[in-house]
Structure 1
Amino acid sequence: RAISFSNNSCYLPPLRCPAVAHFEPHDGSPECYLIHGGRTPNNELSSSLYMLSIDSRGCNRKVTFRCLEKELVGDVPSARYGHTLSVIHSRGKTACVLFGGRSYMPPSERTTENWNSVVDCPPQVFLIDLEFGCSSAHTLPELTDGQSFHVALAREDCVYFLGGHILSSDCRPPRLIRLRVELLLGSPVITCTVLQEGLSITSAITTPVGYHEYIVFGGYQSETQKRMECTYIGLDDVGVHMEPREPPQWTSEISHSRTWFGGSLGKGNAMIAVPSEGNPTPPDAYHFYQVSFQKEQDGEAPTQGCSQESTDFEDSAPLEDSEELYFGREPHELEFSSDGEGDTYNEEDEEDESQTGYW
Structure 2
Amino acid sequence: EKCPYFIHGGKTPNNELSDKLYIMSLISKNSKKFTFKCTEKELAGEVPEARYGHTINVVHSQGKSIIVIVGGRSYKALGERTTENWNSVVDCMPYIFLVDPEFGCCTSHAFQELMGGFSFHLSLARNDTIYIIGGHSIESNTRPPNLYRIKVDLPLGSPAVNCSVLSGGISVSSAIMTQTGDQEFVIVGGYHSDNQKRMVCNTINLEDNKIEIVEREAPEWTPDI
Aligned to 2:182: 211
SS at match of 2:162: strand
Task: Check whether the contact 2:168–2:213 (CA below 8 A) recurs between aligned residues.
Answer: no
From 200, 210, 216, the equivalent of 1:229 is 200
- Is 1:155–1:212's contact at 8 Å kept on the other side of the alignment? no
Q: Which residue of 2 aligns with 1:134?
A: 105
Which of residues 68, 75, 85 is equivalent to 1:97? 68
Give the number of aligned pairs: 225
- Is this contact kept in 1: 2:44–2:104, CA < 8 A? yes
- For 2:154 and 2:93, locate their aligned partners in 1 and report how far apart those are by CA, in whole Å: 23
Aligned to 1:34: 6
Larger mean Cα displacement after TM superposition, 231-240 or 173-182: 231-240
- Give a deviation string over 1:205-256, Cα, whole Å, max 9, x none: 1111111310111111110111111111022223101221111232xxxx13
Structure 1 segments, 4+ long, off by >4 Å, are none
In structure 1, C-alpha distance between the alignment counterparts of 2:117 and 2:202, rounded to whole Å: 24
TM-score by length of 1: 0.61
Q: Shift in Å at residue 110 of structure 1?
A: 1.2
State the 1:195 CA deviation: 2.3
RMSD: 1.4
Q: Does 2:208 correspond to 1:241?
A: no
Task: Tell me, yes or no, if the aligned pair for 2:149 and 2:163 is still in contact at 8 Å.
Answer: yes
Instruction: Give the alignment of 1:273-352 within 5 angstroms.
Output: none
Pairing partner for 2:22 from 50, 55, 60 = 50
Letter of the structure 2 residue corresponding to residue 32 of structure 1: P
Deviation track 1:32-54 (CA, whole Å, cap 9, x = no partner) reads 22110000111100111111222
Task: Find the aligned partners of 1:139 and 1:232 in 2 and give their Cα distance.
Answer: 30
Aligned counterparts of 1:55 and 1:172: Cα–Cα separation in 2: 41
CA displacement 1:324-350 (0-9 Å, x = unmatched): xxxxxxxxxxxxxxxxxxxxxxxxxxx
> TM-score w.r.t. structure 2 length?
0.95
> Match for residue 48 of structure 2?
77
Distance 2:87 2:103 in 1: 35
Decide which structure has the larger Cα Rg and report it. Answer: 1
1:145 to 113, 116, 119: 116
Question: What residue identity is the alignment partner of 1:36?
Answer: H
Give distance in 1, aligned partners of 2:168 and 2:47.
32
CA shift, 1:153, in A, is 0.8
The sequence identity of aligned pairs, in percent, is 53
Q: What amino acid sits opposite 2:182 in the alignment?
A: Y
Give the secondary-structure state (helix, strand or coil) at the position aligned to 1:256: coil
